[in-house]
Amino acid sequence: MTPPRFLECLAYLFWTRETLAEVLECDPALINAWATGREEIPAGLAAWLETLAKAHEAAGIPTTYRKARFSAER
């Protein structure tokens, strides 16, 4: 996985680099090293991110809730 694809996958998931560091419970500097190409992205992590990003892209975002408002009265 290339650094641009790595960042693209994070974007599909609406994750920041900091979010991924929290999810993986790792040093944010490691995420930045992967994102900038200073460190190679491990194959297993790349496959996991690809799977998540493709599933998220295919599922899309529900549109039925756009501009929906909460009403406490029932």
* Pair 43, 51: CB distance under 8 Å: no
What are the tens digits of pLDDT across the range 5-64?
Answer: 999 999 999 999 999 999 999 999 999 999 999 999 999 999 999 999 999 989 988 888
Q: Which two structure tokens, joined as six digits, stand for 46?
A: 């790349």
- Closest residue by Cα to residue 53 from 5, 20, 12, 7: 12
- pTM comes to 0.82
Distance, in Å, from the CA atom of 40 to the CA atom of 25, rounded to the nearest integer, reads 18
Neighbour count for residue 12 (Cβ, 10 Å)? 16
